[in-house]
Structure 1
Amino acid sequence: MRRTISAVPFGVYQGESVYLYTIENIHHSKLKVLSYAATWYDFEVQVDRQPQSLVLHFDNLADYIETPYQVGKTVGRVAGRIGNATFSLNGQTYHLPPNNGRHLLHGGGHGLQTHNFRARFDPDGDTVILTTTLASADDGFPGDLTVTISYTLTADDEVQISYHGVTTADTLFNPTCHVYFNLDGQAALINPQQLRINSTKLVHTNHEKVPTGVFYVPSPAYDFREQPTIQSQLDRLIQETGRTEYDDCYVLDHQDEPAGVLATTHGRLLINTDRNGLVIFTANPERTQPYRLGDYHALAVELQTLPDAINHHGFGDVVLRAGQPRTYVNRYQYVSK
């Protein structure tokens, strides 16, 4: 079987048609992507010759538009929070309209998550290319920023997402995919699955989830280096802190091994990035999904430069210079047992 890409309508957003693109490789694995918000819709692999969904997704466009969880969407210009919705660049201070209390979250109310992207692809290829432009007049950031996102499904079941930015003036650029995983399908709990994070320190945040500029060594409840089950760590978390969920950013130590691994009985998802941050968030984005406190149907994994980097020394470089395009790449490979 050869590789194929197909496109079908998935609804209408702001008067424009939204399309669902499906890339299928020689193993009958499928990567599915929406033009709306350049959303990672699904990643389907073969388990015992049956399709197994690894990514939480909705069946209709309305749920994607209405959800506050940014399910599968590309978010940015800048993923995460910018403290007080303020930053300085080239000697000028920018005050942006806050959308998360006093702060800016995921680039604000006109971010990539609100765009319907233009798409192109070769029906016999392995990549869908999605493009949009963020106008300075719309979001308040300096520079009109053209973002090109390429979704690729390789022959060895690796999803590669590249983010290419070109700007008319120096600006900030740190997008990511707000994907939610469950390797056993979204009807199952993620609690029994195992999680490894290649990190020895976390970003400290205040009560509004804004970074303070400090890193800290995790207590046992936050330490995922030995690939424990998520349930065992949740048990430790409630004992240590009284908290029942994770919403935390890990500082990645080095890139000679996967940034993270999510594992279940039938296989593992190897997670890699060329940036220095990995955010995890335990959640139940489906409003109709019954659950008890501490039970979760999804784990968000956001690969990015550390949040609020523009305001903290040592957090990473998120400045995109005019005339100097930049590309980031995140990779997710499924390996069966």
Structure 2
Amino acid sequence: MKALQIRDFGTVKNEEMGRLFIMENEAGTTAAVTDFGAALVNLLVKDKDGILTDVVLGYDEAADYEAGTQSLGATVGRNANRIGGAAFEINGTRYELDKNDNEKNNLHSGMDFYNHRMWEAEEQEDGKITFLLESPDGDQGYPGNVAVRVTYELTEDNELRITYDGTPDQDTILNLTNHSYFNLNGHDSGDVLGHTVVLDADFYTRADAESIPTGELVDVTGTPMDFRAGKTIGEEIGGDYEALRLGNGYDHNWVLKNDGKFAKVAQAAGEKSGIVMEVWTDLPGMQMYTANFLDKEAGKDGAVYGCRSAVCFETQYFPDAVHHVNFESPICKADTCYHTVTSYRFRTA
């Protein structure tokens, strides 16, 4: 692994200077992450012709991430995805959250986003970079103090590995994810409808018109939600099916079959680049989102990102899991270590 490079990434509103931390392996694969939002900014991998291709959407400087509303590359917490009614109870105490989704639900923990904050960076001897955020009791409405740690590691096997850690001093929700938008043909190459996706999931969580789960697990067999054998994103995205109508495309949580073990759960392949990405995680769910609401978003290097110009694979506890006893609980008990790993592994077809 080559030495970690660090450069300035521009200032944000409070005049703090963001920094960009650049990891590169011997194969030339490069991952750049910033301490503003602990976000993934660039991820360059070689395509079938050996040409380095940036496969994640992003912005040119920290101020753009501060102004952005689409969570490009973001670390999302304390709770990724939605909580119905923007409130929950733990141990008989009710906690109120921001109503920032459909005027009554909570999305990605509210308006004081983790990805709009400066994190403390800690360089590791082995080339990893860890970002630390002190999240106090009451932060975003959640109970308990917790020091959240997010570690990025780029291996010689072309794996970008993201590890999340934290130990709260009260029972609280902990459910972090990475919200990178992937386009395996290149971040500026148009839509991803030709990408072939495989999801190792027999069920998805049905949701209502506001994307809040009903509690029902729906068998994917015979539906456009079945990606077990692999198919292009565009093959059935326009189908007359409730989930697709309500989500304006794919924006749903699939029930993974990894039984809590770190395993491969999904794969995507760029039809032009030949780049194949595997998704590995130990979490029970994954939201596949096909950027249905991106609209002329000004990105890095002069790119303009439109609807369905990327696909997200957000590993997670199920949306609104705190309200469904049949979903694995996102509550982390006091003095218990929250630890989870998600990785993206790259090769060419």
By the TM > 0.5 criterion, same fold?
A: yes
CA contact (8 A) 1:3 1:125 kept: no
Q: 1:240 & 1:307 partners in 2: Cα distance?
A: 15
CA contact (8 A) 2:277 2:346 kept: yes
Residue 227 of structure 1 is matched in structure 2 by: 230
Q: 2:224 & 2:139 partners in 1: Cα distance?
A: 42
Moved more, 260-269 or 192-201: 260-269
Residue 205 of structure 1 is matched in structure 2 by: 207
**Cα distance, 1:174 vs structure 2:** 0.3
Residue 196 of structure 2 is matched in structure 1 by: 194
Q: SS of the counterpart of 2:147? A: strand
Q: What are the superposed Cα offsets for residues 60-84 of structure 1, whole Å, 9 maximum, x if unpaired?
A: 3333222221111111101011111
CA contact (8 A) 1:81 1:308 kept: yes
Matching of residue 247 in structure 1 with residue 251 in structure 2: yes
Give the partner amino acid of 1:215: L
Residue 66 of structure 1 is matched in structure 2 by: 67
1:1-337 equivalences in 2 (<5 Å):
2-13=1-12, 14-47=14-47, 48-100=49-101, 101-122=103-124, 125-188=126-189, 189-218=191-220, 219-236=222-239, 244-254=248-258, 258-265=264-271, 266-283=274-291, 284=294, 286-288=296-298, 296-337=308-349
Distance change >3 Å, CA 229–CA 172, structure 1 → 2 = same
**Cα distance, 1:115 vs structure 2:** 1.6
Q: 1:278 & 1:200 partners in 2: Cα distance?
A: 13
Distance change >3 Å, CA 316–CA 290, structure 1 → 2 = same
Give the partner amino acid of 2:297: R
Moved more, 245-254 or 152-161: 245-254
Distance change >3 Å, CA 87–CA 238, structure 1 → 2 = closer
* Residue-pair matches, total: 333
Q: SS of the counterpart of 1:136? A: coil
Q: SS of the counterpart of 1:113? A: helix
Q: What are the superposed Cα offsets for residues 98-147 of structure 1, whole Å, 9 maximum, x if unpaired?
A: 2222111111122322221100114x633101001112244221111210
Q: What are the superposed Cα offsets for residues 216-257 of structure 1, whole Å, 9 maximum, x if unpaired?
A: 123521111111011112243579965752111111123585
CA contact (8 A) 2:185 2:275 kept: no
Distance change >3 Å, CA 92–CA 23, structure 1 → 2 = same
Q: 1:330 & 1:312 partners in 2: Cα distance?
A: 24
Give the partner amino acid of 1:30: T
Q: SS of the counterpart of 1:233? A: coil
Q: 2:186 & 2:281 partners in 1: Cα distance?
A: 24
TM-score if structure 1 supplies the norm length? Answer: 0.92
Distance change >3 Å, CA 7–CA 231, structure 1 → 2 = same
Structure 1 residue runs of 5 or longer lacking an equivalent are none
Q: 2:295 & 2:17 partners in 1: Cα distance?
A: 25
> Sequence identity, in percent?
27
Give the partner amino acid of 1:209: S
Q: SS of the counterpart of 1:220? A: coil
CA contact (8 A) 2:119 2:132 kept: yes
**Cα distance, 1:317 vs structure 2:** 2.3
CA contact (8 A) 1:222 1:237 kept: no
Q: 1:41 & 1:271 partners in 2: Cα distance?
A: 18
Distance change >3 Å, CA 42–CA 195, structure 1 → 2 = same
